[in-house]
């Protein structure tokens, strides 16, 4: 397994979410894609947004669902890997501040750099 179990991951600022009785749907506004989530995937997504690491999330899911941690750990890692591959999550940069009070600045500079890159490609 990849070594992302103990470090928090960063959710893409381009993701909008809508919740319902069956879970949630994520909309990637950058790529124009929708991702339906099951109730357990919704729980994982929510806890990722709270800054919890995948290993802690697996422990929480195992406790909540009364399932073996060994089983849940593999499933959470597989799901997180799929979120990383889809671009819905990323690994934080070494110098990135993890304090939630800095989230607005990360979103601002992330949008600025994407807009700058997009403008450079169009010229």
Give 11's strand partners: 89
Does 36 or 110 have the greater pLDDT score?
Answer: 36
What pLDDT is stored for residue 40 in this prediction? Answer: 93
Domain assignments of the chain as residue spans, ordered by start = 10-92, 96-123
For the chain, give the percent of residues with pLDDT over 90: 54
Query: Mind listing the pLDDT tens digit for each residue in 44-91?
Result: 999 999 989 999 999 999 999 999 999 899 999 999 999 999 999 988
Closest CA to 6 of 104, 80, 103: 80
Asked which of 3-7, 80-84, 102-106 is least confident by mean pLDDT, the reply is: 102-106
Query: CATH code for 10-92?
Result: 1.10.10.1150
pTM above 0.85, yes or no: no
What is the distance between the alpha carbons of residues 50 and 37, in angstroms, rounded to a whole number?
Answer: 17
Sign of CA dihedral 13, 18, 21, 23: negative
Asked whether the beta carbons of 9 and 102 are under 8 A apart, the reply is: no
Give 35's strand partners: 26
């Amino acid at each position: 397994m990849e070594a992302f179990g103990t470090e928090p991951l960063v959710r893409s600022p381009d993701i909008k979410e809508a919740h319902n009785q069956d879970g949630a749907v994520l909309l990637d506004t950058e790529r124009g894609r929708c991702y339906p989530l099951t109730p357990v995937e919704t729980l994982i997504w929510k806890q990722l947004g709270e800054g919890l690491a995948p290993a802690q999330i697996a422990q929480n899911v195992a406790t909540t669902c009364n399932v073996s941690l060994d089983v849940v750990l593999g499933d959470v890692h597989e799901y997180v890997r799929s979120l990383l591959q889809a671009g819905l999550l990323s690994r934080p940069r070494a110098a990135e501040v993890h304090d939630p009070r800095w989230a607005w600045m990360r979103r601002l500079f992330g949008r600025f750099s994407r807009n700058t890159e997009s403008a450079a490609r169009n010229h």
